[in-house]
Chain A
Amino acid sequence: MKKMILIADDSPTIRKFVSFSLKMQGYEVVAASDGMEAVEKLPQDNFELIITDLNMPNMDGFELIRVIRENPNYKETPIIILSSLSESEDIERGMGLGANSYLVKPFDPKRIQYEVAKYLN
């Protein structure tokens, strides 16, 4: 059975791009267009890793990470932040909330494949 990954990003291009990159590595990717939709999708599958943008409508990435970490089923699930924000305070805030990796956009697809493999393989 393929390992399930959830990606939350308001950009359809990035959602497609991440899905494309990870599908090639044999993962199944479920996409959400904002934090709220991601939260709704959490109980629907058993996601083994979550990738999130920070700037999103309805619920931003920081809030999403906080909600994920409060969920007992996803307390330990690896979270990768994927954002064009690259200020140290954003990175530190993301890490403080419980993110495991931080990738700055635009990113090398090989890097995201490496990060995912680091946690899932």
Chain B
Amino acid sequence: MKQPTNFSEVFEKITDLKELFQFGEKIIPIFQSLIEFMKDIVPLMENINKSIAESTNKMPSATNQINNVTSATEMATTEILDRVDSISTALMNIDNDLTEILKRRAGKKDILEKLKAEIDFNDEQLELLGQLYDQDEIDTFLNSIKEKLSLLNDESYQITLALQVQDITSQQLAAVNHLIESVNDKLASLVDDIHNAQLDEKDVDKIEVPDSATFDPNARYDKDTSRQNDADDIFNNQQKDESKDIASQDEIDKLFSGE
């Protein structure tokens, strides 16, 4: 049996449809704007993707250059240290020679004094002997050369101290390389996700991390002694704690004597 038409329901549906159309009228411009926005944004995203891909491709050469810098500075520093080593050795040899000369001269002075005691020289002869062997003046001169040598030695020492900066910077550069490597990996996977395509491996240099790339990212070159002082404190405190546990001979003696 046919159901009687419920007009109120029909009117409700019509009202719903009307509201839907009204909503559609409102939403369509928004969709249109969204489509316009997408039209604009897609090329932009493609540009970003291309830029990321290009940057990612350049990273391995950046790390290679950093590695080259590290190798070059390492080689140069080692060479400088070798030269300083040679200079120091030469200075040390000269100093030893001077010490030997001074020693021999002192021996000759003793002989001269003995001669003066043994032989009865007159004043003129004594003056001539003095002129022949002007001990004090030459000794002063030789000692002054020794002082200058010592100064040069200290200076070469300071050069070696400053060269430690190479070790610290190489650690810092290794840390930078490590960071670049991580960023490179992330960007490569991002490009892969966005573009759904692999990076062209032909154009990409692999990031090569040297086998010896161990580093302390916090390594720094400064003349501040606070870090060494802290290390000394920890060591000294630990040693004190350990010595508390170890009884001294006096303590053992006191214990056994009942004091």
Taken together as a complex, chains A and B put the C-alpha atoms of A60 and B214 apart, in Å, by 9
Q: Which of B205-248 contact A (CB under 8 A)?
A: 211-216, 218-223, 227-228, 230-232, 234-235, 238
Cβ contact within 8 Å between B212 and A57: yes
Given contacts A10-B214, A33-B212, A55-B214, contact A16 B227 (CB under 8 A): no
Cβ contact within 8 Å between A84 and B212: no
In the complex, B27 has a CB within 8 A of chain A? no
Taken together as a complex, chains A and B put the C-alpha atoms of A111 and B211 apart, in Å, by 31
B interface SS class: helix
Q: Interface code A69-90, partner B: CB below 8 Å = 1, 0 otherwise?
A: 0000000000000011110100
Cβ contact within 8 Å between B167 and A13: yes
In the complex, A107 has a CB within 8 A of chain B? yes
Chain A hits for B85, CB < 8 A: 16, 20, 23
Taken together as a complex, chains A and B put the C-alpha atoms of A75 and B82 apart, in Å, by 34
Q: Which of A74-121 contact B (CB under 8 A)?
A: 83-86, 88, 91-92, 95, 101-109, 111
B96 CB → nearest A CB, Å: 13
Chain B hits for A11, CB < 8 A: 74, 166-167, 170
Chain B hits for A109, CB < 8 A: 157, 160-161
Q: Interface code A25-54, partner B: CB below 8 Å = 1, 0 otherwise?
A: 000000001100000000000000000000
Cβ contact within 8 Å between A106 and B221: yes
Given contacts A55-B214, A57-B211, A95-B238, contact A102 B157 (CB under 8 A): no
Cβ contact within 8 Å between B81 and A104: no
B136 CB → nearest A CB, Å: 31
Cβ contact within 8 Å between A86 and B168: no
B211 CB → nearest A CB, Å: 6
Q: Which residue from chain A places its CB closest to the CB of B76 in the assembled complex?
A: A13
Contact residue range for chain A? Answer: 35 or more
In the complex, A24 has a CB within 8 A of chain B? yes
Given contacts A14-B167, A104-B231, A107-B164, contact A84 B218 (CB under 8 A): yes
Cβ contact within 8 Å between B231 and A106: no
Chain A hits for B221, CB < 8 A: 106
Cβ contact within 8 Å between A91 and B227: no
Taken together as a complex, chains A and B put the C-alpha atoms of A97 and B213 apart, in Å, by 24
Chain A hits for B74, CB < 8 A: 11-13
A23 CB → nearest B CB, Å: 8
Taken together as a complex, chains A and B put the C-alpha atoms of A6 and B57 apart, in Å, by 43
- Set B81, B212, B222, B231: member contacting A10, Cβ < 8 A: B212
Chain B hits for A60, CB < 8 A: 214
Cβ contact within 8 Å between B157 and A106: no
Cβ contact within 8 Å between B84 and A13: no
Taken together as a complex, chains A and B put the C-alpha atoms of A27 and B219 apart, in Å, by 29
B21 CB → nearest A CB, Å: 70
Chain A hits for B212, CB < 8 A: 10, 33-34, 57
Q: Which residues of A contact B (CB under 8 A)?
A: 10-14, 16-17, 20-21, 23-24, 33-34, 55-57, 60, 83-86, 88, 91-92, 95, 101-109, 111
Q: Which residues of B contact A (CB under 8 A)?
A: 74, 77-78, 81-82, 84-85, 88, 92, 157, 160-161, 163-168, 170-171, 211-216, 218-223, 227-228, 230-232, 234-235, 238
